[in-house]
Chains A and B, each alone.
Chain A
Amino acid sequence: MSTREPAAVRPAASVPEPAPETSSSAAPASGAPAGAPASEAPAPSRNWGEVALSTLLLLLGVYLVVGAGSITVPGSSNTVGPRFFPYLVGAATILVGGLLAVRVLRGDQGPAEDGEDIDPTARTSWRSVGIIALAFLAHALLINVVGWPLAVTLMFGAVAWALGARGVVRPLLAGGIVSVVVWLLFVKALGVLLPGGILLELATAWF
C-alpha cells in the first residue's frame, strides 16, 4: 500500500469550530430560579456531546442503584453489607449526572484541556481518532496471534500515519525497530511476560 496522500496534514483550522472558551464561572449561577430569564446572556451554545456524557453518567448511577439490589448479601452480614456503598455512590452519581446535564443544557461549558501539542482552534479530526482507536483495538486482538512486537509495529505505523507522518515505510520501520528493542529489553533482560511471536522467539531462544 502506498497511500501517501497527506490527508491528515490538511491546513488546520480552515473551518474553526466555535472554540469552547466560556469558562464555568461565566455560566448562569447554579442557584438561580429556573424560570428567571438570563439577563442579556449570549445565546447559549449547547454542547450535545457533553449532554450525552452527563446523561450516560446519570444512567450509570441508575445502574449502580439497581445493580446494588442484586448483590448477594451473606446471611451472617450485619447491618452494613456490600450493598450500602454502591447505593451511596449510585445516588451521588445520579445527582451529579443530572445536575451537570441540566447545567450543560443551560449553556455551561467546561474548559477543554490544554496541552503543548493541542491547537485549540483546530477542527476536530474524527478521522485520526477513529483510525487510532481501530488500530489499537486491532493490535489488542492480534497480540496473542502474531506476538507483541509485530502487533505493536502495525499499530505504531497506523497511528503515526494517521497523525501525519510522511510515508508508510518509515513509520512501520520505526515501529518495528522500537518494538523489537523494547521487547528484547523487557522480556530478555527484565523478565516481563510478553508474547514475541514465533519468529522472534525462535530467533532469540538461545538467549
Chain B
Amino acid sequence: MDALTQLLHGFGDAVTPLNLLFALIGTLLGTAVGVLPGIGPAMTVALLLPITYVLEPTGAFIMFAGIYYGGMYGGSTTSILLNTPGESSSIMTAIEGNLMAKAGRGAAALGTAAIGSFVAGTIATLLLALVAPVVVTLAVAIGPADYFALALLAFVAVSTVLGASPVRGLASLCIGLFLGLVGTDLLTGQQRFTLGVPQLADGIDVVVVAVALFAVGEALHVASRLRHGPVQVMSSSGKFMTREDLRRSWKPWLRGTAFGFPFGALPAGGAEIPTFLSYATERRLTKHPEDFGRGAIEGVAGPEAANNAAAAGVLVPLLTLGLPTSATAAILLAAFQGYGIQPGPTLLTTESSLVWTLIASLFIGNTMLLVLNLPLVGLWVKLLKIPRPYLYAGILMFASLGSYAVNADPLDLVILLVLGLLGFAMRRFGWPVAPAVIGLILGPVAETNLRRALAISDGDLTTLVSSPFSVVVLLVAVAAVVGPPLLRRARRGQAVAA
C-alpha cells in the first residue's frame, strides 16, 4: 500500500489554497476552451500550454491536470449539444446524446455524461495510482533496445490502427519524424537539416508544431468550408436525471471504465476503440433496445465513461515509460520536457512528489468538474453560440500568443503559418495529424535509444531482438501494420464467397 501513502502525500501537497486555485483555473479554462467547437482536447492543451510557462512545475502540472480533464469534458458537451460531427473520440457519445437532446432530454444526457466522466475518471485515476508503480518496477529492467521497440510500437499503433487510412497515418508520422530531426543531434552536437538558419539549431519547438497543426490547420480547414447560417445549439433543458436514468446508467459507466482504462494504458491505446466497443456492448446488453436510435441514455453513459477512463489510462505509459500514445499525451510530454523533466521509469523516484501531486490533482480536478459543470451548463451553451468568424479569429490570436511567447521570435510565427498550411492540406486529404505530433516528440527519443543500443552491441543489429520483451513488442508492431489490411482482405474474400 505504498502507492496509497504516496498518494496521500500528494493530496497533502495539492490541497493548499494556491494549488487549489490553480486546479480551479485549469478546470475552468480547460472546459471553456474544450467546449468551443472545433477545439478538441489536444488543441486545448496545446493552446493553453504557454500559460504554464510562468508557473513553477508543481503549479503548472496541477493546472494541466485540470485542463486535461476539463478539455475532455468540454468536448463531450459540444458533441451532445451540436448536431454536427466533432472529434473522433466523442462521436459515439454524440450519436445517442444528440437524439436525447432533440427529444428534450438534454439535461439528462449532460448529467449522465458529467457523472459518468466523474465515476470513470475517479476509478481510472485510482487505477493509474496503483498500476504506475508496478509498471515502473517492471520498466526499470528494460534496456535501450526494448525502449526502441516500444517507441516503434507506439509509432505504428498511432499511425495505422487509429486512422481510417494506414498509409496516410504513416505519411503523417514521417513528417513528424522529419521535423524532429531538424536541429542539433543530441549525442554528437552536429547540426542536421537546419538549412543554415541559426534559430533552427535548437530544433523546431513542439508548441509551434502542435499549435500549427492543430489550431492553425483547423482554422484554415474550417475557413475553407465554413458552415454558414445561424448556429443551432440544442436545448440543454428538460428534466435532470431521474432515478430510472441513474439505474440505467451506472452499469454502462462501470463497463465503459473497464473498456477505456486498459485501451488507454496500452501503447496501442487511444480513446476511439473503447468508446466504439462500449457503445456496441451497451446496445447489445440494454433492456430497452427500442430506445437506441431514439436517444438511449446507456449509449451516452458508456462511451463517455470509456472516453474519460482512456484519458487517464494514457497517463500510465506517459508517466512510467515516457511513452505518449495520444496527441494530447505527446503535448503533455512536451510540457514535462519544457521543465527539463524527462518522463520515464526513473520519474517516480526522482520527481516523486511532483508525480503524486499531479495524480492527486487529477482527483481534485475531476471532482471540481462535477461540481462546476452541472450548474454552469448555461454558460457553456452560450460559448457554443459564439459567432464563428470571431471564434476562429480568436483561435489564431491565441496561436500567435503561444508561439511567439516561446522564443519572442517572429520567425516562429512564419514557421507556424507554413506548418499550419501543411496541417490544412493534411486535413483536407484525410491525413491524421496526431501521428505527426507523436513522431516529432518520440522520434528523438527513439533515435537516442536505438543508437545507445547499437553502441552497446558494437553495431550488431541483432541486439534489437535479443530480449524476449523487445521480440514480443516488435511482433505486436508488425501485426499492427500487417494485420488490418489482411483482415480487410479476408473479410472481402468472405463477402465474395458468400
Binding site for B on A (CB under 8 A): 9, 11-12, 20, 23-25, 29-31, 47, 49-50, 53-54, 57, 60-61, 64, 67-68, 71-74, 77-82, 84-86, 89, 92-93, 96-97, 99-100, 103, 108-120, 122-126, 128-129, 132-133, 136-137, 139-141, 143-144, 148, 152, 155-157, 159-165, 171, 174-175, 178-179, 182, 186, 190-195
Check if B174 sits within 8 Å of A61, measured CB to CB.
Answer: yes
Check if B488 sits within 8 Å of A192, measured CB to CB.
Answer: no
Binding site for A on B (CB under 8 A): 37-38, 50-51, 53-54, 78, 82, 84-86, 164-165, 167-168, 170-171, 174-175, 177-178, 181, 185, 187-193, 216, 218-228, 387-390, 392-394, 396-398, 400-401, 404-405, 408, 410, 413-414, 416-417, 420-421, 424-431, 443, 447, 450-451, 454-455, 458-459, 485, 488-489, 492
Check if B174 sits within 8 Å of A77, measured CB to CB.
Answer: no
Check if A112 sits within 8 Å of B430, measured CB to CB.
Answer: yes
Check if A133 sits within 8 Å of B417, measured CB to CB.
Answer: yes
Check if A82 sits within 8 Å of B165, measured CB to CB.
Answer: no
CB-CB < 8 A to B178: which residues of A?
Answer: 60, 64, 89, 93
A54 to B429 alpha-carbon distance, docked (Å): 10
Nearest CB on A from B418, distance (A): 10
Check if A100 sits within 8 Å of B171, measured CB to CB.
Answer: yes
Check if B181 sits within 8 Å of A89, measured CB to CB.
Answer: yes
The chain A residue with its CB closest to the CB of B91 is A114
The chain B residue with its CB closest to the CB of A61 is B174
The chain A residue with its CB closest to the CB of B459 is A79
The chain B residue with its CB closest to the CB of A157 is B393
Check if A160 sits within 8 Å of B227, measured CB to CB.
Answer: no
**For chain B, what secondary structure do more than half of its interface residues adopt (helix, strand, loop), or is it mixed?**
helix
A85 to B208 alpha-carbon distance, docked (Å): 23
User: Known interface pairs A79-B459, A163-B388, A163-B393. Does A125 touch B188 (Cβ–Cβ under 8 Å)?
Assistant: no
A110 to B172 alpha-carbon distance, docked (Å): 13
Check if A113 sits within 8 Å of B226, measured CB to CB.
Answer: no
Closest A-B pairs by Cβ, 9 of them: A110-B430, A79-B459, A140-B413, A116-B37, A163-B389, A165-B389, A24-B165, A114-B85, A119-B227
Check if B429 sits within 8 Å of A47, measured CB to CB.
Answer: yes
**For chain A, what secondary structure do more than half of its interface residues adopt (helix, strand, loop), or is it mixed?**
helix
The chain B residue with its CB closest to the CB of A189 is B54
A31 to B414 alpha-carbon distance, docked (Å): 41
Show 27 residue pairs from A and B whose CB-CB distance is below 8 angstroms, ordered by the A residue. Answer: A12-B228, A24-B164, A57-B175, A78-B455, A79-B455, A80-B454, A82-B185, A84-B454, A85-B450, A86-B193, A93-B177, A96-B170, A109-B430, A110-B430, A110-B431, A112-B430, A113-B430, A118-B222, A119-B226, A136-B396, A139-B400, A139-B413, A144-B410, A155-B393, A164-B388, A190-B54, A192-B54
A122 to B225 alpha-carbon distance, docked (Å): 6
Which of B187, B405, B431 sits near A194, CB closer than 8 Å? B405
User: Known interface pairs A24-B165, A30-B485. Does A182 touch B397 (Cβ–Cβ under 8 Å)?
Assistant: yes
Check if A160 sits within 8 Å of B224, measured CB to CB.
Answer: no
Nearest CB on B from A6, distance (A): 10
Check if A137 sits within 8 Å of B85, measured CB to CB.
Answer: no
Check if A193 sits within 8 Å of B387, measured CB to CB.
Answer: no
User: Known interface pairs A53-B425, A120-B225, A124-B224. Does A192 touch B392 (Cβ–Cβ under 8 Å)?
Assistant: no
A187 to B53 alpha-carbon distance, docked (Å): 12
The chain B residue with its CB closest to the CB of A161 is B389
A113 to B459 alpha-carbon distance, docked (Å): 43
A141 to B174 alpha-carbon distance, docked (Å): 30
A30 to B410 alpha-carbon distance, docked (Å): 44
CB-CB < 8 A to A141: which residues of B?
Answer: 410
CB-CB < 8 A to A89: which residues of B?
Answer: 174, 177-178, 181, 443
User: Known interface pairs A79-B455, A159-B396, A191-B54. Does A117 touch B38 (Cβ–Cβ under 8 Å)?
Assistant: yes
